[in-house]
Chains A and B, each alone.
Chain A
Amino acid sequence: MPAITVSHLVKSFSLAVRQPEQGRLRNFFKPEKEIVTAVDDISFTVPEGEAVAFIGPNGAGKSTTIKMLTGILYPTSGNMTVAGLHPYKNRRELAFRIGTLFGQRSQLVPNLPVRDSFELFGAIYELSPATVRRRQKELIGLFDLAEFVDRPVRKLSLGQRMRAEIAVALIHKPEIIFLDEPTIGLDIVAKKSLREVLGRINREEGVTLFLTSHDVGDIEALCTRTMVVNHGRIVVDESTDALKHDYFAHRPVKMVAVEPSLEEIIQDIYGAKK
Chain B
Amino acid sequence: MGAKRIKNKRSFVSGLIAEFTVARIIWLTNFRAAMEFRTAFMLQIVGMMINDCAFLALWILFFQVMGSVNGWSGTQIFALLGMNLMCYGFTFGFAGGSLWLPRYVEQGTFDGFLLSPRNLYVRTMTSRFDLAGLGDALLGVILIIAYAVITGSALSLVWFAAMLPATMLIFLSVSVVAGTAAFYLPDSNHTVMAVFKVFMNPTMYPSALFPKVARFIFVVLIPSLTVGGLPVEAVMGHSWLTLGLVWLIALLWLLISIAAFYGSVRRYESGNFIGLRG
Contact = CB atoms under 8 A, between A and B. Distances in A.
B5 A125 contact: yes
Nearest to A178: B115
Contact of B4 (A91, A97, A110, A112): A97
B22 interface: yes
A107 B117 CA distance: 14
A126 B272 contact: no
Contact of A102 (B33, B111, B269): B111
A70 interface: yes
Contacts of B266: 74
Contacts of B274: 104
B10 to A, nearest CB: 11
Interface string A77-98: 0000001000000011101110
A127 interface: yes
A121 to B, nearest CB: 9
A105 B275 CA distance: 13
Nearest to A83: B2
A233 interface: no
Nearest to B107: A105
Interface in A155-194: 172-175
Contacts of A19: none
Interface in A56-77: 63, 67, 70-74
A73 B117 contact: no
B109 interface: yes
B115 A72 contact: yes
Nearest to B265: A74
B111 A96 contact: no
Given A73-B270, A112-B32, A120-B26, A125 B3 contact: yes
Interface in A121-135: 123-127
The dominant DSSP class at the A interface is: loop
A109 B33 contact: yes
A239 interface: no
B268 interface: yes
A111 B112 CA distance: 18
Nearest to A154: B36
B116 A173 contact: no
A269 to B, nearest CB: 31
Contacts, number: 103
B42 to A, nearest CB: 16
B115 A96 contact: no
Interface in B17-46: 18, 21-22, 25-26, 29-30, 32-34, 36-37
Contact of A116 (B4, B32, B268): B32
A172 B25 CA distance: 17
A22 to B, nearest CB: 19
Interface string B4-20: 11111000000000100
Contacts of A96: 2-7, 117
A97 B5 CA distance: 8
A100 interface: yes
A119 B26 CA distance: 10
Nearest to A93: B6
Given A96-B2, A109-B29, 20 more contacts: A67-B270, A71-B115, A72-B115, A72-B270, A74-B266, A91-B120, A93-B117, A96-B3, A96-B117, A109-B30, A110-B33, A111-B36, A112-B29, A112-B32, A120-B26, A124-B22, A126-B5, A126-B22, A172-B3, A205-B1
27 contacts: A67-B111, A71-B115, A72-B114, A72-B115, A73-B269, A92-B118, A96-B2, A97-B2, A97-B3, A97-B4, A107-B112, A109-B29, A111-B33, A112-B29, A112-B32, A116-B29, A120-B25, A120-B29, A123-B21, A123-B25, A123-B26, A124-B26, A124-B116, A124-B117, A126-B5, A172-B3, A173-B1
Interface of A: 13, 63, 67, 70-74, 83, 91-93, 95-97, 100, 102, 104-105, 107, 109-112, 116, 119-120, 123-127, 152, 172-175, 205-207
Interface of B: 1-8, 18, 21-22, 25-26, 29-30, 32-34, 36-37, 108-109, 111-112, 114-120, 266, 268-270, 272, 274
